[in-house]
Amino acid sequence: MITYLRHRDQLAPASFLVLALMIFSCMWLLAQNASAVAVNIDGQTQFLASSVQEVQEALQQLEAEQEAQANTDLKLSNEVEYQNVFALSGRVLPSDQISVKLAQCVRFEAAAATIVINGKAVASLVDQSQAQQLVERFKTEYGKLAEGENLIQLDFEEQVEIIEDSVPLEQICTPEQAYDLIATGTLNPEKYVVQEGDNLWLIARRNDTYVDDIKQANHLTSELLSLGQELIVVKSKPLLTAVAKVEGSKLEAIPFETQVVVDPSAAATVRVREPGQDGERKITYQAIKKNGVVAERTITSEEIIKNPVARVLVKGNQVVQVASRGSTGISKGVLDWPVYGPISQYYRSGHPAIDITGKVGTALQASGSGYVVEAGWNGGYGRTIVIDHGNGYSTRYAHCNSLSVSVGQKVSRGQTIATLGSTGRSTGPHCHYEVLYNGSAVNPLSVLK
């Protein structure tokens, strides 16, 4: 009993102290707490604010700002809920920080018109008419006609739809962005700034792409570039294919053939008996063009205006020694480079030559001694020289700017025969250099010094 009392005497003051402390803490906590709202965005509490009104006002302001920027109507794409809570006032987000916080966790969506190609959403624009115009613009630009052509039909190869949509604001493209995207297949194509000495062809080579692709992606009609001009250089493939069925008529050259007559009694020279002349014909045709490139052509009628006259060369049977025969028939180091410069195209299937780049007007030298068997315009080759070195070897120098030798002339190794240019079907100044053995191309790099 005594023990109990003693205990009780000691216990009482301690209990009161604890109780008093608890009450005091509660009162203190209550004083620190305030009624607040938890802002739940898409089911997750993002922050606490002091009032719903404050958050709604910030949201409205944010929407108005982004609408002004986008120049279109927006709607919030998140679900925002408010929940009344008691919270330590230190945890409530100050009013001036609410918009910043909201900007991080909400998204606005805009009504949009989305271009769908073969079932895949490709680009969204602000409205139906903008999307429609863009598709039409692509069709007209990529379905362009050549002179003397009439359009029979113009369609897309792909299935194209424009759908009403609602997308996040940042997904909406300007017509220019959408056009680039469709034309190049990428939204942020790499840009190249034209520098002094550049030409399309060099730019294409350096960026591992093609001149035609650069021209198409940049809607270029000529190959003239200006300093500082920005070019899209991505290896591009348009997402759409404008298929134009056309009908046309045009005058076309009929190329002449070259006949070589060997005269054993003649000296080791090449003589022109007949220079040859292109013929001419008028054709009417139907063609299918895909993004401007002829994919199929049927000639529906042909009228020969002038028959071609074959070129006849007479060649003596004595030959000039060009190389001692190795296992491949010709050995490395027997031919001199016609010009030194960066190689922009190597020998490969479809390109039986190397393309050596340089400035227009640079001298081109004969790779070896021999006789000029061709000197003049040759279709896509432009101004061209062919030298017969004997033993079945000849070299061709195409796209020349000017020629300084003529057919039948004897030339020696290193002699200037022409200047570098970009004539014929060329995309920039270069020498298209071929080495032929019995009329078949061999890789120039295997025989050049």
Distance between CA atoms of residues 183 and 160, nearest Å:
14
Interaction residues for Zn ion, span 374-433 (CB under 5 A): 432
- Helix (DSSP H) and strand (DSSP E) numbers for the chain: 7, 27
* Stretch of 91-99, 246-254, 345-353, 382-390 contacting Zn ion, by CB under 5 A: 345-353
Q: Which helix (H) or strand (E) covers residue 311, if one does?
A: strand 311-316
d(CA 255, CA 280) in angstroms, rounded, equals 8
x/- map, 424-443, Zn ion, by CB under 5 A: --------x-----------
Query: Please, what is the minimum distance in Å from the beta carbon of residue 358 to Zn ion?
Result: 13
Decide if 306 contacts 280 (C-beta within 8 A). Answer: yes
CB of 434 to Zn ion, least distance (A): 8
Instruction: Tell me: does residue 355 bind Zn ion (CB under 5 A).
Output: yes
Is there binding between residue 165 and Zn ion (CB under 5 A)? Answer: no
Residue span binding Zn ion (CB under 5 A) among the ranges 99-107, 133-141, 220-228, 352-360: 352-360
Contact 115, 171 (CB under 8 A): no
Question: 207 or 229: whose CB is closer to Zn ion?
Answer: 207
Q: Which of 39, 50, 54, 180 is nearest to 104 (CA)?
A: 39
Site string for Zn ion, 301-320 (x = CB under 5 A): --------------------
Cα separation values, 171 from 101, 107, 168, 358, Å: 22, 11, 6, 45
Measured from the CB atom, is 355 or 388 closer to Zn ion? 355
CA dihedral 388, 389, 395, 397 (to 10 degrees): -70
Cβ atoms 370, 394 nearer than 8 A: yes
Which residue minimizes CB distance to Zn ion?
Answer: 432
Number of residues that bind Zn ion (CB under 5 A): 3
What does the DSSP assignment read for 314-330?
EEES---------TTSS
Could you say which residues in the range 27-66 bind Zn ion, by CB under 5 A? none
Interface stretch with Zn ion, choices 239-247, 298-306, 349-357, 378-386 (CB under 5 A): 349-357
Minimum CB distance to Zn ion, residue 432 (Å): 3
Report in angstroms how near the CB of residue 368 gets to Zn ion at its nearest.
20
Sign, CA dihedral 93-99-104-110, equals: positive
Distance between CA 286 and CA 248 in Å, rounded?
Answer: 6
Amino acid at 138: F
Residue 82 or 337 having the CB closest to Zn ion: 337
Of residues 311 and 432, the one with the C-beta less far from Zn ion? 432
CA dihedral 94, 99, 101, 103 (to 10 degrees): 180
Q: Which is nearer to Zn ion, 215 or 315 (CB)?
A: 215
Indicate the residue among 313 and 447 with the shorter CB distance to Zn ion.
Answer: 447
CB of 208 to Zn ion, least distance (A): 17
What's the CA gap between 184 and 176, in Å, rounded? 12
Shortest spacing between CB 288 and Zn ion, in angstroms:
28
Of 322 and 353, which has the nearer Cβ to Zn ion? Answer: 353
Q: Rounded to whole angstroms, how far apart are CA atoms 213 and 237? A: 8
- Quote the CA–CA distance of 167 and 25 in Å, as a whole number: 51
By CB under 5 A, the residues from 252 to 311 that bind Zn ion are: none
Packing angle of the helix pair 175-184, 128-142 (nearest 10 deg): 40
CB nearer Zn ion, residue 250 or residue 425: 425
Whole-number minimum distance, CB 360 to Zn ion, in Å?
16
Select 178 or 353, whichever has its Cβ closest to Zn ion.
353
Place of tokens 């081109």: 364
How far apart are CB 346 and Zn ion at their closest, in Å? 10
Strand partners, 88: 33
> Which of residues 123 and 356 has its CB atom nearest to Zn ion in the complex?
356
Smallest gap from residue 113 Cβ to Zn ion (A): 45
Look-up of token digits 């200047």:
419
Residues that bind Zn ion (CB under 5 A): 353, 355, 432
